[in-house]
Every structure is written in structure tokens, then in C-alpha cells.
Structure 1
Amino acid sequence: MTAGGRPAGQAENEKGGVRTALAGLTTRGRSFLAAGVAAAICAYVLGQSDLLRVGLLLAVLPLVCATVLFRTRYRVAGSRRLSPARVPAGSEARVHLRMDNVSRLPTGLLMLQDRVPYVLGPRPRFVLDRVEAGGRREVSYRVRSDLRGRYPLGPLQLRLTDPFGMCELTRSFSTYDTLTVIPRVEALPPVRLTGEAKGYGDGRNRSLALAGEDDVIPRGYRHGDDLRRVHWRSTARYGELMVRREEQPQRARCTVLLDTRGAGFRGAGPDSAFEWAVSGTASTLVHMLERGFSVRLLTDTGASVPGEGSDGFAGASQESADAAGLMMDTLAVVDHSDGAGLSRAYDVLRGGNEGLLVAFLGDLDEEQAAVVAKMRRRSGSAVAFVLDSAVWAQGPGALPSGAGEARVQMLREAGWAALMVPPGAGFADLWRQADHARAAADPAPTAGTTSGGWA
């Protein structure tokens, strides 16, 4: 990622040149100017010509330095590169800055400063020595944030000074870059329940085999097609050479539901219940994509990501890396919603076997627990991680509340593999527990059908 900049001498509007130059006087320059004016006044009152010459020299020196510095036309190009541009919360990213002197004259002393949000660390400053004509200088600094989000970097500022330190002017570039801090992603253990379909399911191939050749949809012969795929019955019927269509493997589906209701979560910060739910959602999405699942992110507002096609899943034309990046960018900026219910998410889930449903839920009242319970009928299998905000506010070691346990039991009776998440729990351990809970909650699949898969 590169951010080009305008020449430093043309980066700002130069209206009010004299005023701008005088405003750039440093403490040393202002002191020299004040001392020179005072000496000139005293020399005039006392009639001392030698003192007058000294006063004029002291007063003229900072003015000359300011004029020369202001009229200097350094042509300097700046660029910025982030490595990487998308980083998990708590990890460091390195920002590389490059300054190129594109003029035919060498520069003087340059001070480089980049604007960064306070959550990423202190504002970096660098001093660059004389840059020869056509030369370049490269510097770098590190940024780190424990809070996810999108943070602007820039614009880059260049501070010019004269050799005597009398004047200092600032020139700003116009471009900036964006650092995306995504949620923490925890590696999950590969678990698999008996009787489940693989990531690329066999159900569709099996259904095609059971259908028989009369249900095969042929197409016209194309140069290079294997003659063993010629469908002779269709060839005789249409009077031209026809071949069987290639069977496309069906990818098992997984929907990850994130509850973002403001009423469902209390507290804020990297150790809050909501941040744990966001991190768990990101870990699940990445894990299922790596296992070959077709994945989508669904929130309580009904928004579906990546949203390609009518069902909202990542289609065949969308690579897993692109889909993961899109969903991670969404989770980087997700915040509490104003909604009070989960009915919109329930409406998005279509009837029938939608594969695996993994939900991260906040506080549930009886009405919302009933809505979540009905979602079980709209998925092949379902796993829920329920977080009690009141328990999380007490910190690690707090006992679960009776109301939270009652809601979890209600989901289990509806067929969910529901788990109560204690404060500060590791998601990998809960993932294994969900494996055993789901084995007990899901009935064995019947012949000729496949469920969403669990990997």
C-alpha cells in the first residue's frame, strides 16, 4: 500500500506569505528579533552607532532566515507502506516511510512526522540529514492496538528548518492510509462427528447417482470433451452429439450468527463479553473456511456477509481469502446495534437444511430465547455460545446465574448444543466441549442426507 504525496513546497496554500514566515519563527528566532529591536531602540536613545549595527544584525538575521526558508522550493515526494495492512488486535504492524528528493538541489535538515491515532502509540518523529539531489531516505516505526477498528495514518508532515534554527515551517502531504485492526483469531482444533458430511459434501453426488441417467441434463459437445462422457440417448434424440454435464461438488454450508444487540451485552473494552463474542466469531469463520466450508456471517440486524448471490454465502467465484478478508473487515468495525430482538436474523435463515449454524449470543429473555430455539428447525445442526453480561462483569471465577442456565437449557431442549461461556474462557476448549454437546444433541443422519458438517 503506497501513498504518494505532493511536493513539499506545494503542499499548502501560500496565502499570506510574510505572516506565514513570521509565524514559523522558533523561540531562538523570536529572541534574536526581540533582542535586535531592543538594542536598536537603546542605541537610538543613547546615540551609540555600534550598538545600532549590532541590533540591526540581530533583528535582520531571523527575518532573512525566514524569508529564505519560505521561498525554498524543495520538491520532495513521500510514500507510506503498511506491513501488514490488516493486523489482529494486540499484534504489531510496521509502517515504512520513504522520502525522495526529486529536485536538482540537495535539501537541508528535514524533520519528518506522521500523524497516528493515540490508540496506536506516540506520534513518530524522525530527523533526516541532507538529502542529495535524486536521493532518498527510508525510515519505519511500529504501531499496535488492543482495540479493533479502522485507523487512519497520516497525512505525513515535513518540517523544514534553517541552519541557524531561527525558523521552522511545516508542509503537509495530502494522502493517508488506513490500518485495519481485526479481532483476535484463535486456532481451533479439528473435530469431526461421526456421520457428518465432509467440507465438499457427497450428498449431491449421491443424489445424482440415485436419480438415474434419465435425469441427467446434457449439453452440446465441445472441442476437447472426453468421448467417454457422450450421452448417446440424448445424441439420438437431438440429432447432435451431446455430453453429460460435469457434476459440481456441493460445499457444506456454515452460518455464523453474531448477536450485536446493545441490550444483550454490557461493558466495553478488550476483555468484555462482546469482544469475546466477536473474537469467537472471527475464529469460527476462519476455521470453517480453512476446512472448505461455504461460510457467511449473519448478525441480528439481518445483514449477511459476504452477501454474494441470493443466499448470502461466498460463491464459487469468490476465493476463500477474499471472503475471509471481507468478513474480517466487517468484524473490525462491528458495534452494538439498536435492535432489541433476533427476529430479522430468523427471517434470513431459509427453511430446510441450511447446514451448520454457530451462534454467539448475549443476554436472552424468554421471548428471544424462543426465537433462537425456532432457528434450530431452519438449520441442519446448531451450536450456541451464550454469554451472560452480568457474570462477565464480575470477572473470572463468577458463578453462572440461574436465568442464564434456564435459557441455555431451553435451547438444549430445542435441539441446540448450547454452552454457557464463563468469563475469560478459552475458545479452543469450548470448541471441543461443543463437539461432545452436539454429538448428544443431533440425531444420526439418515441415508441419502447430509448435514452441515463439523470440522
Structure 2
Amino acid sequence: MAGQSPPAPAAPPAGPDAQAGGLRTALSGTTTRGRSFLAAGLAAGACSYILGQPDLLRVGMLLAALPLVCTAVLHRTRYRVGGSRRLSPARVPAGSEARVHLRLENVSRLPTGLLMLQDRLPYVLGPRPRFVLDRVEPGGKREVTYRVRSDLRGRYPLGPLQLRLSDPFGMCEMTRSFSAYDTLTVVPRTEALAPVRLAGEATGYGDGRHRTLALAGEDDVIPRGYRHGDDLRRVHWRSTAKYGELMVRREEQPQRAGCTVLLDTRRDAYTGSGPDSPFEWAVSGAASVALHMLERGYTVRLLTDGGELGTGGDGALNARGGESADAAGILLDTLAVIDHSERDTVSAAYDVLRGGHEGLLVAFFGDLDREQAALAARMRQRTAAGVAFVTDNAAWARPGRDSTAWARPGAPGGAYGAGPAGGTPPAGGGAGAEDSDLVRQLREAGWTVLSVPPGTAMGDLWREAGNQSGQLAAAARGGEG
């Protein structure tokens, strides 16, 4: 996807005051050469008066008139140049490059002089690119390209484009700034995840899980609010009159498997900052899981500890897999600008979840104390399955970033705490006694819990989550037998 700003040649100032102000701005752009010519002309005129030499006066008038004429011509041509910008692509993962294509067009009947092109960029995208164009003929076009790159997520404005104009004699220079700008969105890095089966998902992924409502007659119609694109022939006027808003017949309701991705954004729950911090890993992990679930046909809901993403009544951002080509873009754009919160609890997210039975819950937690671990344990009771990734802040903060973490054999990320699938951490390493108790509390509530040491790939942890969920399901079936 590419963003483009159309050519936007500015109009000349409309009125005497605006014209005078523009001319004063043009005169202030006189170069050292132009000022020297003007001073030499005035000196020659003074010498002509003192010495009585009329020929010297003519020379002085020529010297003084040349920079003034160049300034007047440049003052007119500065409004005859159009510029445009095109991003390719307009949305890039962190650490990837995007190309910016600049196009300059001379829409006047006179050729331009020397032009210096400069695009304004935020400092995180690198130094401001500058290009020098020698001469652009009437109706001519010039195109230049540069690259930008950022390791930090965010939305960054590019522009406005600045153009420094110069006359052929180098007497005057002035800067023209266009008004249009574009936005480069740097989204979190994502990883491709393998399809796994998680405990509590009896039918696996949500492809083809649909339910049709049987309608016995007009009185049994289940109405819903009108959405853009609905057929007006399905408007249910009785319900519209009852609720005071346009309602349509919900003759067929698809039942899709749901997945809620919970991202803990509490500032105190993470250590460090920057692109290699545990919070950035959690954001990238949430983006990877959300995109993976969308590809598998899930309806994905994105929550934070404040439950404030999106515009829905429950404070959640919803995207339907397989229905909207922009669903992934909506999720990525949202996660591109997400930041730390100043909250000290995840209770708001629990309030959103307690409204009804949920499907799969995938949570990315920072540091949890006893109160927050108890709250997370209650969250699990509202879901069919739950996977929690808990960042090992002690390992992330350790000097040298030792990426090795205790885990059961064959597990890249290991289960956090004791249990049949988690093993026991070695003495002096991994989680402390209190952490083990908190994580054991999560496991007893039904969570599949994995620690996240630095340097661990999300794809490896996701496969491990599938393995542990299978073991828990097998253990549960064995207990029932």
C-alpha cells in the first residue's frame, strides 16, 4: 500500500499586502553575491555623483538592478512549482526500509534555476534528505528517491517538502514549503506461527463454524443495528420504531471461533526501554498471535490492561478474520502506536471479559504481583482456553542479557513454575519462590504459562504452548478416566 500527496502548486498571494510581504521575504533571501552587487551599484552611484561621471552611474544602476530583477523573477517562479510524494509501502515492520519517491514538476512557462530539494523527517527516520536539481525546463519533471528506516514503532509524518529556489546568477535564494505531508506507519515486527491445537478447543480453528438461526415468522426475527452496506430490504420497521434506530433482520448469524489477545501495558510491569525491551517483545508477540488467528478465520479482539482499544461498547478492538482485507491493517495500526499506561492493575480488562463466555484468551503479561496474579486466574474462568506469556524481567534486566532460561528438556521457553509439563527450575536460576507460587496459581486456574527470556522466538514459544496444552488435555482425560 502506498500513500501519495498530489501535486500542490501554491497560488500567488492575493492582495497588495500579501504581495508586499512576499516581496519582502524574497528580498530577505538575497545571497552574499546579490548583496555585493547591490552594494557595488550603490557605491558606483555615489562615486558618479561625487566625481561627476555619468557613465559610472549607468554601471552602478546595472549592478544594483541585476539582483533586484533576479529577486522579482524568482518571486514569481516560486509559485510555479508542484511537488508530490509517494511511499512504497506506507506501512512497514520495525527495522524494515520504505522508499520515498519525490516528484517535482515545473508548471510555469519559464525554466527554473538551481533547485535544492529537502524533505522534513522525524529524527528517528534518519537525516533529512537533500537533492540538488540543476535546471527544470518548462513542463519538465524530475524524480528522486530515498529510503527511511526506523527500529521504533509509531506513526511518523513525512514532510512538508521544502524547495530552495535560486536564480541563474545566484543573486537570490528562497525556501518554498509545500503544505501536503504523508504518514509512514511503522508496525511491530511479526513472526509466522505454526497452527497448533490448544486445550479447550474441541473443534480446532474456526474455519467453517457457522450457525443459522431458524426463524418461525415475523415475530421471531432477531434484529440488530443497521451496518453500512446492509440491504435496505432487510430493515425491520417494527424494531426500528421500538428502539428508535434503524434495525435489520438478522436472518443468518455466523458463529466464529473467538480469540481475545490481552496486552499488559503497565509501565511498572516491564523493565528497560527501546526496541529490544520486553515490552516491545510483548507488542510484537501480540501482533503475531492476532495476525495468525485472523488468518485462521478467528474473530480477534484486542484488549489492554485498560480495555480501551477501539470504539466498541466494551472498549475492545474487534476484527473478523476472512471478512475484511483491512482487519490485519487495523490491528497493526493500533499496535503501532500503543504505549505504556500508568495503571497498576489489569482490572479493567477483567471487567471487559466478565461480560460473557469467551473463546481463546492469549495474554502477554509483564511482572505480576499476588493481586494481579489472582485477577488473571479469575480471567481464565471466563474462557475456553488460556495461554499466558510472562516476561522474565529478571533475565531481561541482567547485564549481558543471558538469553538462556531454565526450561524442561526440549522446550525453548519452558513453563514458568512447577508442574507436570514445567519441570523444576534449577537452584539460583529462573523464577524465585514467590514467582513460582504465583505462576502455580495461574496453572491451577487452567492457564498454559510460559516464561519469556530475552532472545526467545515467538514461534518457538507458540509451538511449546501447543505441546503443553496437549499434555494438559491428556492429563485431564486421564483424570476423568
Distance 2:215 2:51 in 1: 111
Aligned equivalents of 2:462 and 2:13: distance in 1? 54
Higher mean alpha-carbon deviation, 387-396 vs 253-262, is at 387-396
Q: Deviations over 1:52-78 (max 9, x none)?
A: 665554444323322221233653332
TM-score normalised over the length of structure 1: 0.80
In 1: Cα distance, 2:313 partner to 2:331 partner: 12
| Equivalent position to 1:87, from 82, 85, 92 | 92
Amino acid at match of 1:340: D
Question: Bigger CA drift: 10-19 or 391-400?
Answer: 10-19
- Give the distance between the partners of 2:252 and 2:207, measured in 1 at CA: 12
Letter in 1 for 2:303: L
Segment drifting more, 397-406 vs 40-49: 40-49
User: Which amino acid counterpart does residue 127 of structure 1 have in structure 2?
Assistant: V
What's the secondary structure of 1:250's corresponding residue? coil
**Could you list the per-position Cα deviations for residues 107-156 of structure 1 after superposition, in whole angstroms to 9, with x for gaps in the alignment?**
33333222111111221222334333333222222111111100111111
* Offset of residue 415 of structure 1: 1.2
- Aligned partner of 1:383 in structure 2 is 387
1:421 to 446, 452, 457: 452
Matches within 5 A, 1:52-451: 57-72=62-77, 74-193=79-198, 196-200=202-206, 216-218=214-216, 250-305=255-310, 307=312, 313-315=318-320, 319-350=323-354, 353-394=357-398, 395-397=400-402, 399-402=429-432, 403-442=434-473
Q: One-letter code of the match for 1:344?
A: A
CA 1:50–1:442: 2 relative to 1, 3 Å: farther
For residue 292 of structure 1, report the CA deviation from its aligned partner: 1.2
Partner-residue secondary structure (3-state), 1:111 = strand
- Tell me the distance in 1 between the aligned counterparts of 2:32 and 2:12: 26
| 2:422 match | none
Quick check: 251-260 or 433-442, which moved more?
Answer: 433-442
C-alpha separation in 1, matches of 2:402 and 2:317: 39
- Structure 2, unaligned runs of 5 or more: 219-249, 404-428
TM-aligned CA distance change 1:389 to 1:310, over 3 Å: closer
Aligned counterparts of 1:64 and 1:313: Cα–Cα separation in 2: 62
What is the deviation of 1:175? 1.4
Q: Closer, same or farther in 2 for the Cα pair 1:129/1:312, shift >3 Å?
A: closer
If the length of structure 2 is used for normalisation, what is the TM-score?
0.76
1:190 CA displacement: 2.3
Gap change, CA 1:392 and 1:35, over 3 Å in 2: farther
1:4 aligns with 2:6: yes
- Whether contact under 8 Å (2:116, 2:130) holds in the other structure is yes
* Partner amino acid, structure 1, of 2:451: M
Query: What amino acid is aligned across from residue 426 of structure 1 in structure 2?
Result: A
**What does the per-residue CA deviation read over 1:167-187, in whole Å, with 9 as the maximum and x for residues that have no partner?**
111222111111111000111
Query: Secondary structure in 2 aligned to 1:378?
Result: coil
Q: What is the total number of aligned residue pairs between the two structures?
A: 413
- The equivalent of 2:245 in structure 1 is none
Give the RMSD, CA atoms, in angstroms.
Answer: 3.2
The residue identity in structure 2 corresponding to 1:6 is A
Instruction: Name the SS for the 1:287 alignment partner.
Output: helix
In the alignment, residue 293 of structure 1 is paired with which amino acid?
Answer: Y
Instruction: Report the 3-state secondary structure (helix = DSSP H, G, I; strand = E; otherwise coil) of the residue aligned with 1:103.
Output: coil
User: Are the aligned partners of 1:297 and 1:306 in contact in 2 as well (CA < 8 Å)?
Assistant: no
The one-letter code matched in structure 2 to 1:285 is A
Structure 1 counterpart SS, 2:325: helix
Q: Please say if residues 215 and 251 of structure 2, whose CA atoms lie closer than 8 Å, have aligned partners that are also in contact.
A: no
Contact 2:8-2:84 within 8 A present in 1 as well: no
CA deviation after TM superposition for structure 1 residue 99, in Å:
2.4
AA partner of residue 275 (structure 2):
P
Write the deviation string for residues 193-248 of structure 1: whole angstroms up to 9, x where unpaired.
5873233367766xx8xxxxxx943569xxxxxxxxxxxxxxxxxxxxxxxx9976
Name the SS of the counterpart of 1:130 in structure 2: coil
The equivalent of 1:20 in structure 2 is 25
What is the rounded CA distance, in whole Å, between the counterparts of 1:142 and 1:290 in structure 2?
30
CA contact (8 A) 1:8 1:158 kept: no
